[in-house]
Copies of this chain bind each other. A is one copy, B any other.
Amino acid sequence: MTGCSEIAERLFSLDQAVEEFIFDGCQLAIGGFTVTRNPMALVYTIIRRGIKDLHLVCHSNGQGMDILVGAGCVKRLEIAYGGNGRYAPTCIRFRRAVETGKLEFEDYSNYQMALRFLAGSLSIPFIPSRTGLGSDLMELEGFSPEVRSEEKVASRKYARIDNPFSAEKEEVPLLPALNPDVALIHAQYVGEDGTVRIKGLTFADLEQAKAADKVIVTFEELVPRSFIRQDPDQNSLASFFVDAYVKVPYGSHPTACFNYYDYDPAHLNLYRHMAEDDGRFQEYLGEWVYGVESHEEYLRKVGIDMLLKIKASPGIGYAPGLDRK
């Protein structure tokens, strides 16, 4: 698939997109950051379809990461930050999985993970970075030598070389590039020509998308070509990087989507409460993931009252005065 200027043949349902592109054991990157713009509808579909053994490569993908880990879809995790802001200073199912030895995991920092995606997006095998020096991020490896020998796992956590351009000895750490099998991104706009526009902060979404072999984009709104091309400086990703598009309004609920809706504090608090107990967490999955047949049903469960409460105010981008305790 390259160069298609119209997207009809790349419009999928959530189930079709997951079936086509996501496989057991694949290396997966998800867009967004903690409570914002996680591709939750795709994440729920992955769980519902029983995908397993995922190798998740994350910077700070709070909510999406935690529920994938909690639902047992993840075998291996590279991560910078397993938290969800004030709603979970440490993500609860992530924490439980690490403390009970249920995960292969390895820690990096946010900048390091972002740079690794950047290197992948530039098709270069590694990139220097000045962070990590002296810390246990560089001293302690999370993965075993057996894991290291697997495909798509870096053969070393870091490398160090002497700066060949410096007269004095100067050690420079190198980070291995990431090229995930699939990246999942949620965006506000997709044009009829397939051009993707993300509003607000883009985090590492664009680097993730360009680093990945396959890219699935869910989006709030399909807009005319004339709209998306009116100001192309604002656009984020060209059509030829995208393999599947899925129209999913509120596709990142309960996380937020700038200019569309805020995070859902009631749901994030409910999640925290349910996640604290293994049994309750299974109930949560039963009610909100397995027991839900479609995204429309999910939205009916959230309810119009809440969708109106979290609706973003134009020109501000979030829901002012929302009760967020």
| Interface residues in chain A, defined as those with a beta carbon under 8 Å from any beta carbon in chain B | 115, 119, 122-130, 154-156, 159, 161, 163-167, 170, 172, 174, 176, 199-200, 230-231, 233-234, 315
Cβ-neighbour of A124 out of B130, B176, B230 (below 8 A): B130
This chain's copy number in the assembly: 2
**CB-defined A-B contacts under 8 Å, sample of 7:** A123-B130, A124-B127, A124-B128, A125-B165, A125-B166, A126-B172, A165-B174
How far, in Å, is A3 (CB) from chain B's closest CB?
20
Q: Kindly provide the distance from the CB of A118 to the nearest chain B CB, expressed in whole angstroms.
A: 9
Chain B: minimal CB distance from A86 (Å): 24
On chain B, the residues within 8 Å of A156 by CB distance are 164-165
Known: A165-B176, A233-B200, A233-B234. A127 touches B125 (CB 8 A): no
* A164 nearest CB neighbor, chain B only: B159
CB of A165 within 8 A of CB of B126, answer yes
Query: Does A155 lie within 8 Å of B165, measured CB to CB?
Result: yes
Other than the given A124-B127, A156-B164, 17 more pairs (CB < 8 A) read A115-B122, A123-B130, A124-B129, A124-B130, A125-B163, A125-B165, A125-B166, A126-B164, A126-B165, A126-B172, A127-B127, A127-B128, A154-B165, A155-B167, A156-B165, A161-B164, A234-B234
Which residues of B sit under 8 angstroms from A155, Cβ to Cβ? Answer: 165-167
Query: Across the two chains, which residue of chain B brings its CB closest to A198?
Result: B233
Residue of B nearest to A232 (CB): B200
In the complex, which residues of chain B have a beta carbon less than 8 angstroms from the beta carbon of A164?
Answer: 126, 156, 159, 161, 174
User: In the complex, what's the smallest C-beta–C-beta distance from A53 to chain B, in angstroms?
Assistant: 23
* Complex Cα spacing A270 to B231, Å: 34
Contacts of A125 in B (CB 8 A): 128, 163, 165-166, 170, 172
Q: Report the Cα distance A140→B240, complex, angstroms.
A: 37
Give the nearest-CB partner of A170 in chain B: B125
Q: Which residues of the partner chain B approach A154 to less than 8 Å between Cβ atoms?
A: 165
Closest B-chain residue to A162, C-beta based? B161
Q: Which one of A124, A130, A176 has the greatest number of beta carbons of chain B within 10 Å?
A: A124
Q: Which residues of B contact A167 (CB under 8 A)?
A: 155
The answer to whether B126 touches A163 (Cβ under 8 A) is: yes
In the complex, chain B residues whose CB is within 8 Å of the CB of A115: 122
> What are the residues of chain B within 8 A of A315 when measuring CB–CB?
230
Closest to A172 in B: B125
Q: How far is the CA of A145 from the CA of B122 in the complex (A)?
A: 32
Q: How far is the CA of A315 from the CA of B156 in the complex (A)?
A: 51
In the complex, what distance in Å separates the CA atom of A234 from the CA atom of B231?
10
In the assembled complex, which residues on chain B have CB atoms less than 8 Å from the CB atom of A161? 161, 164
By a CB distance below 8 angstroms, the chain B residues around A233 are 199-200, 234
Task: Compute how far the CA of A161 lies from the CA of B126 in the bound complex, rounded to whole angstroms.
Answer: 11
**Which of chain B's residues have a CB closer than 8 A to the CB of A172?**
124-126
